[in-house]
A = this chain, B = another copy of it.
Amino acid sequence: MCYVKTRRMFILCKRLFPALFLFLWFTVSHAQGGYELWLNYRKTENPETLEHYRTHLLSVVMDENSETVDAIREELSTGLGLMLDSTVSFISEIPEKNSLVIRKTENLPSGLRNTLKKDIATIENDGFLIRASGNTVIITARKDVGLLYGTFRLLHHLQQGLPLRNLRILDIPKTDIRVLNHWDNLDRTVERGYAGASIWKWHRLPGYIDPRYKDYARANASVGINGTVLTNVNASALVLTPAYIEKVAALAEVFRPYGIKVYLTARFSAPMEIGGLQTADPLDPGVRQWWRDKVDEIYKTIPDFGGFLVKANSEGQPGPQNYGRSHVDGANMMAEAMAPHGGIVMWRAFVYSEHDTTDRAKQAYNEFVPLDGKFMENVLVQVKNGAIDFQPREPFHPMFGAMPHTPLMMEFQMTQEYLGFSTHLVFLPKLYEEVLQSDTYRHGKGSLVARVVDGTLDNKKISGMAGVANIGSDINWTGHPFAQANWYGFGRLAWDPYLSASQIADEWLRLTFTNDNNFIKPVKNIMLESHETVVDYMTPLGLHHIMDTGHHYGPGPWVGNLSRPEWNPVYYHKADTAGIGFDRTPSGSNATAQYAGEVAATFNNVKTCPEKFLLWFHHLPWDYKLQSGNTLWDGLGIRYQEGVNRVREAQKTWAVMEPYVNKQQFEEVRMLLGIQHEEAQWWRDACMLYFQTFSKQPFPEEMETPLHSLEYYRSLKFPYAPGISPQWH
């Protein structure tokens, strides 16, 4: 209660004495640092709404007992307490007066159960129902964790100042496995991590439980994430040794009340590295026994362990092919060990080989599609959103829809490996939405990728979505204050792949900052444009993989000397005096043949191929006419310039947002937009100067003169750019 008052006064005083706060802000910089994420409960501003909420919600009927129910009680005490500026009473009998009732369906009084009969009948799995009925607001679910999800949803509803009258939210998660993938190494470096060290303080576990672990669980549960893979897909076998299993168990204990299971990455060669075996051949009985024993050992310590995520025979990682076996042999060996415990295996389809000279974009499909139907039931094949590697923009991966008998998990990347690290503002749900809304046409029109992911397209028994986390030890978790929105948005889309990016941006802004529309409208606009902006200043018109090598920081379209051809940018843009782009039509690599006929036809025809994918699928002459009437060369320059221009517009918009956010976050975003602007210009200048060596044409007049020479840009080196794991050194 008092904490609530302090918050209210703080906000009030900030308005009354802005000058004073100029002096004070620095001492509260820590509190302003964004640690609270979207759970930064603020007092309800509108007095009528506040009264309305108080009347209905301050008596909470909760009489069940479990760790999860305790977590609900705690969250309500804090969340309702702060938002309603009052103390919450917990009671065990439903009173005459208004109350908030939180009970599992089976424990609702028969009257209520009868009233809600129809809705209750449709609640499944982890779903929940929130209903205002008579003088009660009810949250009900089949399971405790459903009650938790419902509670967070109600708190989010209130933080947005929305009415309780006629409230009815019936929401059931559309996927089963909603997991973060942490590419965190045991030495606390994070591969492709741009928000500081790993939050897992392995050295201090299990004796020391960092307070962050619980706040991490709260944040995840609040958006419906129900699992976390703690370790890098480029895995260390050591995490499977007893000392580490004990550490993992300590984390699992913190996460359990929040419905979050832990998973680990399993290094395929672990039986040799930590088991002392001579082989890791998946058909070797000793190896199979080793994995069974290891999995039994894990479940003995962590009874609700989730399972394994495996990167095998990919970028140097060991796998079944080292022994002449297939992905099916490898995955099923582990799945067999998992099956008695209800565990799963997530087997990554991110494979391409230096011995395969076909278009890299085709290789995963070629390798996996023939295996359809051969995996055990508890195996999911985890597929990146596109066929290359988390580029700023890619067409949807052709595997989606092409394996009707195998559950395919979507793998999105939240960490901005190719999207400006944590210094660029990019709202990724726009990218996710574009992919999920893509139509595979595998069962005719409407066969959306979202329907592959949620399993409805081919009636999959299990479904899931994975997101490569952008979380680190930075006080604000994600480096860029706006990168929190990508974590939030991933969770929301994993729960419901049909949500719109616009709705997610709106929710996140309201939860994180304010409901003031003078802020929401322009800043939401920045967010919704931000992905297109980055694509324009990095890789417009279907360009891809033209970043610098290793760290992937900044432009490197000129790189062509790497040992594996498909690691070189020149492999992807194929610029020459004749033109630019990768011909993936039947006249080229014919990668389009991996899509359904309708899709392939659209992509193959340069007139129907969306311009955003133009150079992904076609090699075109520099004077090719774009829909705008511009030549390809001019159009390219104009796109690069437009990307830069939109960053400038975002800077201008942000400059007047100071009244709506705290001083620290205002400054942080201001400085970061400054860096983004510089780097947008860098991309434009470096790429256009380089491509000009082929086009031999002047820059379009819309484009600003480059700030430096091509030699200058080529000379830049960044040996300490963040996010490179020791194994890449």
- A residues contacting B by CB (< 8 A) are 1-3, 5-7, 9-10, 12-14, 16-17, 20, 23-24, 26-31, 33, 35-36, 39, 41, 73-74, 77-78, 81-82, 87, 186-189, 196-197, 202-204, 207-209, 211, 214-215, 236, 238, 421, 423, 473-475, 664, 667-668, 671-672, 674-675, 678, 718-722, 726, 729
Q: A2-B17, A13-B1, A13-B2 are in contact. Are A675 and B36 (CB under 8 A)?
A: no
Residues in B whose Cβ lies below 8 Å from that of A675: 204, 207-208
Contact of A3 among B13, B674, B719 (CB under 8 A): B13
Nearest-Cβ distance from residue A552 to partner chain B, whole angstroms: 13
Q: A1-B13, A78-B23 are in contact. Are A203 and B28 (CB under 8 A)?
A: no
Q: A196-B473, A208-B672, A473-B473 are in contact. Are A187 and B27 (CB under 8 A)?
A: no
Docked pose: A3 CA to B473 CA in angstroms: 27
- Which B-chain residue is minimally distant from A553 (CB atoms)? B203
Residues in B whose Cβ lies below 8 Å from that of A664: 211
Docked pose: A318 CA to B33 CA in angstroms: 42
Residues in B whose Cβ lies below 8 Å from that of A718: 203
CB pair B12–A2 under 8 Å, yes or no, is yes
Q: Closest 7 A-B residue pairs measured CB to CB?
A: A2-B13, A6-B6, A23-B77, A30-B35, A207-B675, A29-B211, A186-B720
- Which B-chain residue is minimally distant from A34 (CB atoms)? B30
How many identical subunits does the complex contain?
2
Nearest-Cβ distance from residue A570 to partner chain B, whole angstroms: 26
- Which B-chain residue is minimally distant from A718 (CB atoms)? B203
Residues in B whose Cβ lies below 8 Å from that of A30: 30-31, 33, 35-36, 215, 475
Docked pose: A217 CA to B475 CA in angstroms: 18
Residues in B whose Cβ lies below 8 Å from that of A474: 473
- Which B-chain residue is minimally distant from A664 (CB atoms)? B211
Residues in B whose Cβ lies below 8 Å from that of A187: 720, 722
A-B contact pairs, 9 of them (CB 8 A): A3-B24, A23-B74, A26-B214, A188-B196, A196-B196, A203-B423, A204-B675, A207-B671, A236-B720
Docked pose: A722 CA to B204 CA in angstroms: 10
Residues in B whose Cβ lies below 8 Å from that of A9: 2, 5-6, 9
Known A3-B27, A23-B74, A203-B720; further 19 A-B contacts with Cβ < 8 A: A1-B20, A2-B12, A2-B14, A6-B7, A20-B87, A24-B77, A30-B33, A33-B211, A187-B720, A189-B189, A196-B197, A202-B720, A203-B721, A207-B423, A207-B672, A207-B675, A208-B672, A236-B720, A238-B720
Residues in B whose Cβ lies below 8 Å from that of A35: 30
Residues in B whose Cβ lies below 8 Å from that of A5: 6, 9, 13
Residues in B whose Cβ lies below 8 Å from that of A188: 196-197, 720, 722
Counting chain B CB atoms within 10 Å of each CB, the highest count among A23, A238, A675 belongs to: A23
Docked pose: A31 CA to B9 CA in angstroms: 17
Nearest-Cβ distance from residue A203 to partner chain B, whole angstroms: 5
Docked pose: A475 CA to B472 CA in angstroms: 12
CB pair B74–A674 under 8 Å, yes or no, is no
- Which B-chain residue is minimally distant from A88 (CB atoms)? B23
Nearest-Cβ distance from residue A721 to partner chain B, whole angstroms: 6
- Which B-chain residue is minimally distant from A675 (CB atoms)? B207
Docked pose: A297 CA to B724 CA in angstroms: 31
CB pair A3–B26 under 8 Å, yes or no, is no
Residues in B whose Cβ lies below 8 Å from that of A211: 26, 29, 33, 664, 667-668
CB pair A10–B20 under 8 Å, yes or no, is no
Nearest-Cβ distance from residue A446 to partner chain B, whole angstroms: 44
- Which B-chain residue is minimally distant from A12 (CB atoms)? B2
CB pair B208–A671 under 8 Å, yes or no, is yes
Nearest-Cβ distance from residue A364 to partner chain B, whole angstroms: 32
CB pair A238–B719 under 8 Å, yes or no, is yes
Contact of A729 among B33, B668, B726 (CB under 8 A): B726
Counting chain B CB atoms within 10 Å of each CB, the highest count among A6, A473, A671, A672 belongs to: A6
CB pair A722–B203 under 8 Å, yes or no, is yes
Nearest-Cβ distance from residue A193 to partner chain B, whole angstroms: 10
Docked pose: A20 CA to B475 CA in angstroms: 26
Residues in B whose Cβ lies below 8 Å from that of A36: 27, 30
Docked pose: A473 CA to B196 CA in angstroms: 8
Residues in B whose Cβ lies below 8 Å from that of A668: 208, 211
Nearest-Cβ distance from residue A727 to partner chain B, whole angstroms: 11
Residues in B whose Cβ lies below 8 Å from that of A671: 207-209
Docked pose: A30 CA to B477 CA in angstroms: 12
CB pair B3–A10 under 8 Å, yes or no, is yes
- Which B-chain residue is minimally distant from A674 (CB atoms)? B207
Nearest-Cβ distance from residue A208 to partner chain B, whole angstroms: 5
Residues in B whose Cβ lies below 8 Å from that of A27: 3, 36, 39, 41, 78, 82
Docked pose: A370 CA to B423 CA in angstroms: 53
Residues in B whose Cβ lies below 8 Å from that of A39: 27
Docked pose: A721 CA to B197 CA in angstroms: 14
Nearest-Cβ distance from residue A17 to partner chain B, whole angstroms: 7
CB pair A207–B26 under 8 Å, yes or no, is no
Docked pose: A23 CA to B88 CA in angstroms: 11
Docked pose: A326 CA to B3 CA in angstroms: 64
CB pair B722–A207 under 8 Å, yes or no, is no
CB pair A215–B3 under 8 Å, yes or no, is no
Nearest-Cβ distance from residue A713 to partner chain B, whole angstroms: 14
- Which B-chain residue is minimally distant from A77 (CB atoms)? B23
Counting chain B CB atoms within 10 Å of each CB, the highest count among A2, A81, A87, A423 belongs to: A2
CB pair B10–A473 under 8 Å, yes or no, is no
- Which B-chain residue is minimally distant from A663 (CB atoms)? B211
- Which B-chain residue is minimally distant from A670 (CB atoms)? B208
Residues in B whose Cβ lies below 8 Å from that of A82: 27
CB pair B17–A1 under 8 Å, yes or no, is yes
CB pair A204–B423 under 8 Å, yes or no, is yes
Nearest-Cβ distance from residue A253 to partner chain B, whole angstroms: 14
Nearest-Cβ distance from residue A75 to partner chain B, whole angstroms: 9
CB pair A74–B209 under 8 Å, yes or no, is no
Q: A208-B668, A720-B203 are in contact. Are A31 and B31 (CB under 8 A)?
A: yes
CB pair A473–B238 under 8 Å, yes or no, is no
Nearest-Cβ distance from residue A378 to partner chain B, whole angstroms: 30
Docked pose: A608 CA to B215 CA in angstroms: 57
